[in-house]
Structure 1
Amino acid sequence: MRIINADRLEPLFDTAATRSIEQAAQAALPHHTLMARAGLAVARLAQALAPHARCIWVACGPGNNGGDGLVAATHLHTWAQKSGSALRVVVTHAVAEGDALSRLPPDARQALASAQAAGVTFQTGPPDDADLAIDALLGIGAIRPLTGTLATWLAMLRTSAKPVLCVDLPSGLHADTGALAGTEHDTSESAAATQAGPRHTLSLLSLKPGLFTGQGRDAAGQVWFDDLGATPAADVPVTAWLSGQATHANAKVTMPHGSHKGSFGDVVVVGGQGVATTGAGMTGAAVLAARAALHAGAGRVFVGLLEAGSLNETTWDPVCPEVMFRRPQTLLDTPLLRRASVVCGCGGGALVAAMLPRVLSQAATLVLDADALNAVAQDTSLQAQLTHRQGRGWITVLTPHPLEAARLLGTHTALIMSDRLQAAHKIATRFGAICVLKGSGTVIAAPTGIPRINSTGNAALATAGTGDVLAGMIGSALAQPVSSTATALDRVVSAVFQHGWLADHWNDGQQVAQRTSLMAGELAQRARPIV
C-alpha cells in the first residue's frame, strides 16, 4: 500500500480494464483471496488513520465492495478484542437478513458470515459517536441517483465532519469520468458540507481516472493504492496517465554557458483588447501571459495589444520592462510569427477574430486561449483553418475551460463535465490539436495517444488571470524547437504541472500571518523554466 502524490507518473485504468485485472487475479488465486487482501488493507489503513478511535462505523452495501468492508470490520473488531481496546466496530449492512441475503455474491456472503461469527456489532442505523467512517457501499460500475437506505447512509457519509475512508471509490463516483451521482437527500447545503471532514480513498487493484478529475478529487480526498498483489497483463490498455514528476517547479535548470537569448526561443502574445473598444479593457490578460512566458524561460517575449483607437497605447510594462510591445499588424507582417511560439486570445475580446485568419495561417506553433477559442467556435471558416494546421505538421494547443469546451463542441457544460476525458479527446481529434481542458484534474489530450490527467493545482487558482498565466507558460514551453507532437505534449504537460504545483506550494514556509492569496501577477513571477 502506498500514498499517491504528485511525484511520479501513474497508469490509470477504466472499469473494463480493472475488471480484466480482477478476473485474471481471481483465476490465479484461491477463492476469496482478493477480498481477504482488500479487507485487510482497508483495516490497516483505517487503524493508521484513526489509531485512537473509540468507534468506527462501517457502512456496507449489497455487493463485493460491502464484502471488503465486512472483512475490514472483522479485522478491526478482532484486533480490538485481542488488544483489550475499547474500540467499538459498528456495521450497517444493506443486506443482512431475509431473501436478499441469498442474492449476495459468494465472496460477500462469506465475509458476512465471518463477521457475524466473530461477533461484530450490526445495527440498522449508524452510531452517533463514530470517530471514523468506512464507506463500503458501492464500488465500480454503473451509477445512478440513490434512494432509500443507501441514499440516507451515503448522505451522512458525504456530509460527515469526521474522517471518512472510502473503499476503492467514494460511493456514487463514476470510476471512469469523475462524475458523482446524487442522492434524494442532496441540497445546496449538503453539497457545501461535502468536504467538512478529511476524506481518504483506498483504490484497489488499479487507480481509476475518476478519482483524479471532475468531482473525483474533492470526493476522494487523499488517494492511497494497493494492487492486492495483482499486476496488470501487458495487453490491458492504460486509459490515462496521472502526470507527475520528481523534479518540481523549483528545480534548478542548468543552461549552457554559450547560451544567448535566441537559444530559448521567442514568444508572441496577441490579445488584450483595449478599453476604448467597448469600454471594458482586458489589456492585463495579455500582459500576464507575456510576463509568465518570460519567467517560464522564453528568450524574448513580444506583445501585440489590440488597442485600436486608443489615445494612450501601452508601450511598456513597468513591472516587467523586458517584455517588448509591438502593434499587432507589425507582428503579423514579420517572419517572427512563423518561428515564434504564438499565444493568441488572452483578453482578445471581439477584436481577436480579425487577427485569427493570419495567425492560423502563419504561426507554426500556436496556443489558442479564451476569446480566440470563442471566435473559432462561432466561425466555421476559422474551424477549417484550424483543422488544416495538423496536415502541415504544425503544433496547436487549445486551452478551454468547460464552458469554452462546450462551445467548441456545440454542446453544454454539464455534458462536458459528465466525461472530461472524452470531451478533451473529442476536441483534440476534431481540431487536430492538443487540448488542455482546464478544471479540477486538468485533462491534456492529443489527437492520438493516451491522455494525461494533471495531479497538481487547487481552488486557489480560481482567480482572474491564472488561465492567462497558464497560456503564457505553455507558450514558453513550446518556444524552443519541437520535434514531434509527443514532445509538444510532454512540454505542455510539464507547464500545466508546474502551474498547479506553484498553487499547491503557494504559502510554503510562511507564517500564518504572512500567508497571501494567490494573485495571477505573482503567479506569473513565480514561473520557472519548464523542465
Structure 2
Amino acid sequence: MAQLERDAADSLGLTLYELMQRAGQASYELTRALWPQAQHWLILCGHGNNGGDGYVIARLAQAAGINVTLLACEGSKPLPQEAEQARDSWLAAGGTLHAADAAWPEQVDVIIDALLGTGLNRAPAAPYDRLITQMNTHAAPVFAVDIPSGLLAASGTTPGAAVIASHTLSMIALKPGQLTGKARDHVGQLHCDELGLRAFLAGETAPVRRFDAQDLARWLPPRKATSHKGDYGKLLVVGGDSGTAGAIRMTGEAALRTGAGLVRVLTHEDNIGPILTARPELMVDTLSEQRLEQALAWADVIAIGPGLGQREWAQKALKKVAASEKPMLWDADALNLLAINADNRQNRIITPHPGEAARLLGISASEVESDRLHAAQALAKRYGGVVVLKGAGTVIASSAGEIAITDVGNAGMASGGMGDVLSGIIAALLGQKLALFEAACAGCVAHGATADAIARQRGTRGMLATDLFELLWQFVNPEMIQQ
C-alpha cells in the first residue's frame, strides 16, 4: 500500500500530504454522516501517518464547530513529513495537543482511532495498548481510520490489544486483514474510499480478490430453456459410515439444491433407508468395491469425505477415488486420511477447517489462524489443486497462485453440518462445468450469502445447516436477486 500511494501520487501529480488530506476529509465526512448529532469528538493520534490523518480530521471537525479533544502519542523518532505538516496545520488552526496519558473528557460522543495504521506487524506497545483498552471499554462508538489499531492488515491477526470499532474506513483499497482472521470482531461496518484514485487503480491488479453475493452472476448465468439434467453433471457422493447418515445426506441434498443434474450417494447400508426417506430425489446405494467402480465410471464429478470415518472401509474407498482423474472434492475424514498419506493432484478441491488444515500442514491450528492467507497458499502448494480454508473470511487459494477471500457468512454458521452442505454446493458447481477455483469461490459465496439472508430474517443463534436449503435457491439463481 505504501508503494501504491507513492506510485499514485507520482502518476497524478499529487503530494503524499495531499493524499493525507483526502484521507482525513473522507474520514471526517463519513463520521459526520454516521453520527450527525455528535458534538464532542475524542481523537487519538499515533506517531505516524495514521496519526496524520487524525490531525486532518481534528482540524476539519473543529472548523465545523465540533468540540475536539486530541490526544497525541509521542515517539522516539520524528513524525513523518506528511504527519508533521498535518499536526502543524492543526496547531496553526488553534488546536491543542494533549498527552497520551491525559484524562479523557467526561462527555464524549464519538472516538476517532488514528493510532496505528496498516504498517503494524506486532503487538501494540505502551501507551497504545492502554489507549486501545480504554476505547474498547468506553461507551462511545469508535471510528477506525484505515484499520482498527492492533489488527494486522496483512493477516487479520491480533497479537495484542486491538480496537473494536463500530465502523472502519479503509483508504484506497481493502486489506486482507480487514476481511479474514479476527477482522469480523474488530472492523464493525467496513467502508472504503479510493481517495479519487479510481482511474489509477483501474490499471492495477490486486494480489487478492474479494467476492460477495454480487459476484454470483458472473459464475451462474440463467439456464437455457432446452437444457436437461445431463447438462448439469452426474455427481457421486461417497461417505456416511454407520451412524453418520446425516452428513452425507446433507451433502447430497445441497448438491441437488444447487442444481446438480443427478446425485448418486454411496454409503453404509444402514443409511440407505433414512436418506431415501428424507430426500427421495437422491440415488442411494451401499458402498462396496464393485458399486464404487461402477459409480466412478458413471460420474462426472466426485465428492468424498462427509461422515466417511477412517476405518479400513473408508481407506479403501478413498484409495479407489484417488485413482480417478475426474474433478473431485475432498472434505472431512478424507482430509484426515490425506494428512496421513499426502499426495499432490491438480483435479481436486480440499475444504479444510483450521483444525484439519493444521493436521495437513503439520502445525497447530493457532499457527494456521495467525496467517490464513499464507496457510491456504501453503496447502495449495503441498497438495495441489484448490484449497478452501474455511472460517470467518474464507480463503480460497490455487496451486496456480490465485487467491481470494469471500466476504460473506456469519456466526450462525458455527454449527454442525455447515461444511457438509458447502461440499455439496461446490461439487454441484463443478458438475455444472465451473473450473475448480471458480466453483470453490462461487460455492463459498452462495453458501455464506444464504446464511446471511437467514441471519437477517431470524438472527444467528440456532441456525441449522439444513436451514440453508430454504433460501439457497435465491443465490444459485442470481437473476432472482436482481429482480
TM-score (norm 1): 0.82
1:107-141 CA distances to partner (integer Å, 9 max, x unpaired)? Answer: 21222222223233443233342221111001121
2: CA distance, partners of 1:204 / 1:182: 23
CA contact (8 A) 1:204 1:226 kept: yes
2: CA distance, partners of 1:59 / 1:516: 35
Cα distance change, pair 172–234 in 1 and its aligned pair in 2 (3 A): same
Across the two proteins, how many residue pairs are aligned to each other? 466
Residue 216 of structure 1 aligns with which residue?
183
CA contact (8 A) 1:20 1:236 kept: no
Q: Report the residue type matching 1:176 in the other structure.
A: A
Residue 351 of structure 2 aligns with which residue?
399
2: CA distance, partners of 1:139 / 1:117: 25
Query: Paired residue for 2:117, among 139, 153, 168?
Result: 139
1: CA distance, partners of 2:32 / 2:431: 50
1:30-76 CA distances to partner (integer Å, 9 max, x unpaired)? Answer: 46211111111111111111100121111110111101001101100
1:489 and 2:472 correspond: no
Query: Paired residue for 2:332, among 366, 370, 373?
Result: 370
1: CA distance, partners of 2:31 / 2:407: 24
Q: Report the residue type matching 2:40 in the other structure.
A: C
Unpaired stretches in structure 1, ≥5 consecutive residues: 1-17, 81-86, 187-193, 275-280
State the 1:436 CA deviation. Answer: 0.4
The secondary structure found in structure 2 opposite 1:242 is: strand
The secondary structure found in structure 2 opposite 1:350 is: coil
2: CA distance, partners of 1:530 / 1:430: 35
1:20 and 2:12 correspond: no
2: CA distance, partners of 1:113 / 1:435: 50
Q: Report the residue type matching 2:31 in the other structure.
A: A
Residue 13 of structure 1 aligns with which residue?
none
Residue 152 of structure 2 aligns with which residue?
174
1:227-274 CA distances to partner (integer Å, 9 max, x unpaired)? Answer: 22235568855220001353669x997433333222211111111111
2: CA distance, partners of 1:22 / 1:524: 45
Residue 326 of structure 1 aligns with which residue?
285
Residue 224 of structure 2 aligns with which residue?
256
Q: How does 1:207-356 map to 2 (within 5 A)?
A: 207-230=174-197, 232=200, 237-246=205-214, 254-274=222-242, 281-307=243-269, 310=270, 314=273, 316-329=275-288, 330-334=290-294, 336-337=296-297, 339-351=299-311, 352-356=314-318
1:451 and 2:429 correspond: no
1:465-519 CA distances to partner (integer Å, 9 max, x unpaired)? Answer: 011000000111111345xxxx3311221111010001111155x5x6x998321
1:500 and 2:448 correspond: yes
CA contact (8 A) 1:315 1:325 kept: no
State the 1:328 CA deviation. Answer: 1.4
CA contact (8 A) 1:289 1:469 kept: yes
Query: Paired residue for 1:163, among 141, 150, 154?
Result: 141
2: CA distance, partners of 1:475 / 1:252: 14
The secondary structure found in structure 1 opposite 2:349 is: strand
1:396-438 CA distances to partner (integer Å, 9 max, x unpaired)? Answer: 1000001101111111111111111111111112111100000
Identity of aligned residues (%): 36
RMSD: 2.5
1:62 and 2:10 correspond: no
CA contact (8 A) 1:213 1:440 kept: yes
2: CA distance, partners of 1:221 / 1:366: 37
Q: How does 1:68-83 map to 2 (within 5 A)?
A: 68-80=53-65
More deviation, 425-434/286-295: 425-434
2: CA distance, partners of 1:248 / 1:239: 20
Cα distance change, pair 365–338 in 1 and its aligned pair in 2 (3 A): farther
TM-score (norm 2): 0.90
1:155-211 CA distances to partner (integer Å, 9 max, x unpaired)? Answer: 12234443211111111121111112313xx9xxxxxxx75xx62111112221111
Query: Paired residue for 2:92, among 110, 117, 131?
Result: 117
Unpaired stretches in structure 2, ≥5 consecutive residues: 479-483
Cα distance change, pair 127–306 in 1 and its aligned pair in 2 (3 A): farther
1:51 and 2:36 correspond: yes
1:432 and 2:384 correspond: yes
CA contact (8 A) 1:477 1:530 kept: no
The secondary structure found in structure 2 opposite 1:151 is: helix
Q: Report the residue type matching 1:145 in the other structure.
A: A
1: CA distance, partners of 2:462 / 2:248: 22
CA contact (8 A) 1:494 1:530 kept: no
Residue 171 of structure 2 aligns with which residue?
204
